[in-house]
Structure 1
Amino acid sequence: MSDSIPRVLALYNKLQRYPLGGWLFSRAICFQAPYFGSISPRITRLEHGRCEAYIDQRRRVQNHIGTVHAIALCNLAELTAGVVSEASLPTSMRWIPKGMEVKYLAKAKGRMLAVAAPAVPAAHAEQGYELPIEVSVRDRGGTEVFSATVRMWATPKPQRS
């Protein structure tokens, strides 16, 4: 098992030294997983056990009633859950989403701030295990408009010969 810092967390910490580092980090994540670019997220905080990101309401993420579309919120939840998984799991482990339960709690208008954190500590294991990530999305007024539990499947990385 390696105790080194996860690459995604090292990159985030390195880029934070620069004025546009947060924007550049968010763009790099969207380059790695292009679909997330559809919501133009901005990751504002990343540390072991916590990821925060926001999206702004604009036409391309709206539904027919003028609120942030439910799938845009799901996309934001999966993004933050994946990034916090990558930053929190030991470098000897990998992850993949296994499922997601969501709750739409209020109309989503304006900027949406997501906070994701593992429900249990991420750890090294010899076999695969489920790692639930809790995500809460709030509007600027602090009202929780959406919540999700993203179930990640964490497994040891294959041994390289």
Structure 2
Amino acid sequence: MSAPLLNLYRRMQRWPAGSWLFSRAVCFKAPYFASIAPRITLLEPGRCEGRIAHRRKVTNHIGTVHAIALCNLAELTAGLMVDASLPKGMRWIPKGMEVQYLAKATGTQHAVATPEQPIVAAEASYALPVNVQVCDDAGTAVFQARIQMWVSPVKR
């Protein structure tokens, strides 16, 4: 059985503008992410892809996509990937994030989030590192993050 979030994503993909509607729904639930106007382009167990356009609201004083917008995109895609991948009875929360800025971020930014290890049901809590790579339209890596997720059983 797949996660409710993944079921919603799959159902909405059948609609015209389904990825736009899904992305808006996510931002309604977690309003802070609306500040970057993300678009989730792929969600499946073990992988989430999303993008943000180079707009004024995510631009810094030197004309590139600002660092916190890239961090927001990384946290969003990592969180959605984990949520879509979790076995029933498990929950998650981000615990920390290490980032590296590799190149100037101009144009549309494309993020891919994947886990470093399998996401499994467990009776004890565990750390789950998630890697996020962000590339520009030319495929140049401009940013990478390693986000520590804390996965634990739901308390009954």
* TM-score exceeds 0.5: yes
Aligned alpha-carbon RMSD (Å): 0.5
Give the distance between the partners of 1:20 and 1:145, measured in 2 at CA: 28
Please name the residue that 1:58 is paired with.
Answer: 55
How big is the shift at 1:105? 0.0
Please name the residue that 1:89 is paired with.
Answer: 86
Please name the residue that 1:74 is paired with.
Answer: 71
Give the distance between the partners of 2:27 and 2:4, measured in 1 at CA: 16
How big is the shift at 1:17? 0.5
Q: Is 1:16 the counterpart of 2:49 in the alignment? A: no
Task: Give the TM-score taking structure 2 as reference length.
Answer: 0.99
Please name the residue that 1:115 is paired with.
Answer: 112
Task: Give structure 1 stretches of 5+ with no counterpart.
Answer: none
Task: Give structure 2 stretches of 5+ with no counterpart.
Answer: none
Q: Is 1:25 the counterpart of 2:14 in the alignment? A: no
Q: Deviations over 1:113-137 (max 9, x none)?
A: 0000111010001111001110000
Please name the residue that 1:135 is paired with.
Answer: 132
Which among 16, 35, 38 is matched to residue 35 of structure 2? Answer: 38
Equivalent residues in 2 for 1:139-158, closer than 5 Å: 139-158=136-155
Total equivalences in the alignment: 156
Q: Deviations over 1:5-36 (max 9, x none)?
A: 10010000000101111111001111111000
How big is the shift at 1:91? 2.0
Identity %: 62
Give the distance between the partners of 1:29 and 1:134, measured in 2 at CA: 21
Match of 1:29, as an amino acid? V
Specify the SS of the correspondent of 2:122: coil
How big is the shift at 1:158? 1.5
Match of 1:115, as an amino acid? V
Match of 1:74, as an amino acid? C
Give the distance between the partners of 2:37 and 2:110, measured in 1 at CA: 13
